[in-house]
Structure 1
Amino acid sequence: SFFFFSSLICRNLYNNRLTTLSWQLFHTLRLSELQLEKNRFNCSCDIRWIQLWQARGEAKLGDQEVYCNTSDATILLQEMNITQCAPPENTFSWIHLTIKVSASLFSSCRVIKGILLPSRDSTVLLTQSVVFFVFVSQTNINWANVHAINLTLVNVSRDDNGFPLICIAENVVGITNATVMLTVYYAPLIISLIEPEKRHDHCIEFVVRGNPLPTISWLRNGNGLQENDFIYTDIYDEVPFLEGCLLFRNPTHFDNGNYTLLIENDLGAAKETVYAHFLRPPFTVPDYGSPTPPISLTQKPEEDAFGVSIAVGLAAFACVLLVVLFIIINKYGRRSKFGMK
């Protein structure tokens, strides 16, 4: 066996008295030359692959004289007529596999003149997605040498988009494979939306995904943003994610505000908001509060005026009282004086 010599580039089997040889021994090797002269091969389908390699000039077999034995003669392998021996042919029932996320889909791979791999019923986990399975069952079709392998895709996730499904078939002549890419349609999703940062221009960077690719629009402070030469969307990558920037050329304080990213496709929509601050408004004066007006020295508080009024009133009352007392004393004092004996 040559299985452990995957780096082998030349193999000499000259004059080894080989009667048959399988292509499977060399399938994993990177052969630059395979020397097969002076062997006693039997003319059969088992060495048809050598004849095909000679025709293609692989491993320098086209320059070698390789013979095989029939029931009554020895002939050049190039003259062996067993064209009914051919490599397998396999095709998928679908040229393009398309499916919506979480849905299921049935497909099959048909093989002519070959044996399917795997050759028994099995369940195969194809991707990292825990819920993505392919149930494989082998079915014989009515006509001979034709087989089909059935694949049922269950609960597909968006991470399975772009996954290749490979159908492999082999027989004694060789091995072939058919590949079909899986396309999964799913609603858009915003992976990231970052506050603006200064690059060549100011950039609000975003990463979104969706299949079909979503359309992109913006709101500023809740109103539709009209893009122009100074504010516009720049997409710089579309596979596997839609990545880009909302670019600002020389933004001012008028561009400050909340920016909302809106994405939409046929399966749904998503939005997310980020605040952008570029410049402070110019000529702003700090507000330290209203100043207390000074009290004029020529003005008296209301309390002082009231106090003066009380004092004047008391003085007037005292004057009146003194006058009354003076009159009373004067009147009664004179009577007492003249009434004395």
Structure 2
Amino acid sequence: MGPWRRRWQGPGLWGLCCLVLGSWPGLLACPTSCRCSAWRIWCTEPAPGVVSFPRLERSAERDNISDIYIANQRKLESINDNEVGLYIGLRNLTVVDSGLKFVSRQAFLKNINLQYINLSRNKLSSLSKKPFRHLSLSDLILVDNPFKCSCDIMWIKIFQETKFSNAETQDFYCINDNNKRIALMEMQIPNCGLPLANLSSYNLTVLEGNSITVYCDATGVPLPNVSWAFTNLVSNHESDTSKNPASLTIKNVSSKDNGLRISCLAENIVGEDQASVELTVFFAPNITFIESPTSDHHWCIPFTVKGNPKPTLQWFYEGAILNESEYICTKIHVINQSEYHGCLQLDNPTHLNNGAYTLLAKNEYGEDEKRVDAHFMSMPGDGSGPILDPDLYDYETTPNDIGDTTNNSNQITSTGFINTENEDSITVYVVVGIAALVCTGLVIMLIILKFGRHSKFGMKGPSSVISNDDDSASPLHHISNGSNTPSSSEGGPDAVIIGMTKIPVIENPQYFGITNSQLKPDTCGN
């Protein structure tokens, strides 16, 4: 086991060596006089020195570089276009104690991640603001450069005044025409002033299809150059910046340009200024999208409407105005400039809600309407699905009073729902009444049967006298005289007198064998 263990220690050592050698200049194709790692380039060796900005050949290696440090490179005199821009991930750039004299105006155009730049102790006599104006720098250090006191570096003074305190800017100097060094904060240059841009109007409104012109008046010393800045202007346009004020004319304005921001830029060697305005385009509504209803948490008829000013929305059901309620209403979910995305939301619609729905969008410049057919549930009895209670909906529609589209025959009211409710109530009352009558009848029958059992077919009181054959013509009467009257004790209380003879009546013991439980119904009210 010992030899195997020693044998496997070899690759571990080799791996460590590879990590160490990974920063060797030859492995990363590092420029001469520089050292390179996966994230940093530093060039500090004065011999043989760097003549141009260091460059890695492999793009994959360049993309990971975040720091470049260059010092003691007397032969490095310029930073040109497309040199620093190769390192798109660059955050920190330092070029100090070198022979740097020139920085291209587009040197850092592609380095939008740059946060720190240090160009101290070089040979810069002038420096334009253009290389830095699009960057969000936390630090820009330019001390100990032989700047010439001129308008070219006035922007540095303004930058220092707005960015830092006086204590942090005391080392900035420039050389005047008498070769005298003066503090940058004390530099006074005649005929040198920041530009100022003013627009002819800051309320740029136009009706779709019309044309409009905006003017920009720029002042400053030296006289600034003027340019127009906008993104994705769809309408045809032309500009004239050769005159002051400069002009921009937009022809046959499209509604797609509504909300577009237009800027006038005035720039001279001292600095720059801009003035901006938002283009407002008024246009009639346009329903760009409407679709059959879909079911999510609620049923929804989706739509998209464009219009400026914001259009009013009205729904129609089968040609009649649809009054919205808590069960059916319009919802706007997304607003993008003058575009509105939403839906007509219906809560548990039934077959009574099937039909044609029309959306009317209207503002002061026109109107548009679109129709869609909706089917939520089949009619009752076709076996296609359950029917929910239509009484859930108590909204109603009223006749359409917009334009001449009124269709009185299609007016929808809540009468159908009321009639349905009345019919259901009457049916319930009838059923309950019949059940009550049945129960009452059963109770009465039970009472009759209960008391009839003790009266023996209802024959109570004195015994009935029925004449014999010899006296058949005589009326029935009671005989109570003499010895001819049988004793009331004879034959028992149930005896019947026929003629002068009292005959006992014998009951069938099985006849009244029906019990009370057999006469009672199972339920009362069902």
How far, CA to CA, are the matches of 1:61 and 1:171 in structure 2?
Answer: 28
How far, CA to CA, are the matches of 1:25 and 1:245 in structure 2?
Answer: 50
How far, CA to CA, are the matches of 2:343 and 2:301 in structure 1?
Answer: 5
Give the counterpart letter for 2:182 in structure 1.
I
Inter-CA distance 56–253: structure 2 relative to 1 (3 Å threshold)? same
Inter-CA distance 179–118: structure 2 relative to 1 (3 Å threshold)? closer
Structure 1 spans left out of the alignment, 5+ residues:
141-146, 286-341
| Aligned twin of 2:367 | 269
Larger radius of gyration: 2
Q: SS in structure 1 opposite 2:336?
A: coil
How far, CA to CA, are the matches of 2:303 and 2:380 in structure 1?
Answer: 30
Inter-CA distance 60–31: structure 2 relative to 1 (3 Å threshold)? farther
Structure 2 spans left out of the alignment, 5+ residues:
1-78, 85-107, 384-526
Matched, 1:137 2:240: yes
How far, CA to CA, are the matches of 1:125 and 1:65 in structure 2?
Answer: 40
User: CA shift at 1:232, angstroms?
Assistant: 1.1
TM-score, normalization by structure 2: 0.48
Alignment of 1:227-242 (within 5 A): 227-240=324-337, 241-242=339-340
Alignment of 1:122-201 (within 5 A): 127=232, 129=234, 132-138=235-241, 140=243, 147-201=244-298
User: CA shift at 1:117, angstroms?
Assistant: 3.5
Inter-CA distance 276–248: structure 2 relative to 1 (3 Å threshold)? same
Alignment of 1:99-118 (within 5 A): 99-113=206-220, 114-118=223-227
Cα distance per residue 1:260-286 (max 9 Å; x no partner): 11110111111111111112222469x
| Aligned twin of 1:313 | none
Alignment of 1:52-91 (within 5 A): 52-57=158-163, 62-63=168-169, 65-72=171-178, 73-82=180-189, 85-91=192-198
How far, CA to CA, are the matches of 1:54 and 1:83 in structure 2?
Answer: 20
Cα distance per residue 1:200-225 (max 9 Å; x no partner): 11111111111111100011111111
CA contact (8 A) 2:315 2:358 kept: yes
Alignment of 1:208-227 (within 5 A): 208-227=305-324
Cα distance per residue 1:65-100 (max 9 Å; x no partner): 011223444221111133853321102111121111
Structure showing the higher strand proportion among its residues: 1
Alignment of 1:286-301 (within 5 A): none
Deviates more, 1:18-27 or 1:216-225: 18-27
Which of 375, 379, 401 does residue 281 from structure 1 map onto? 379
Matched, 1:94 2:201: yes
Identical columns (%): 36
Cα distance per residue 1:123-154 (max 9 Å; x no partner): x996463xx222212364xxxxxx31111111
Alignment of 1:3-14 (within 5 A): 3-4=81-82, 5=84, 6=108, 7=111, 8-14=114-120
Q: SS in structure 2 opposite 1:87?
A: strand
| Aligned twin of 1:48 | 154
CA contact (8 A) 1:203 1:247 kept: yes
User: CA shift at 1:251, angstroms?
Assistant: 1.1
| Aligned twin of 1:295 | none
TM-score, normalization by structure 1: 0.72
Q: For this pair of structures, how many residues does the alignment match?
A: 273
Give the counterpart letter for 1:94 in structure 2.
S
Q: SS in structure 2 opposite 1:238?
A: strand
How far, CA to CA, are the matches of 1:269 and 1:83 in structure 2?
Answer: 61
Q: SS in structure 2 opposite 1:26?
A: coil
RMSD: 2.7
CA contact (8 A) 1:34 1:59 kept: no
How far, CA to CA, are the matches of 1:139 and 1:25 in structure 2?
Answer: 25
Inter-CA distance 32–250: structure 2 relative to 1 (3 Å threshold)? closer
Give the counterpart letter for 1:50 in structure 2.
I
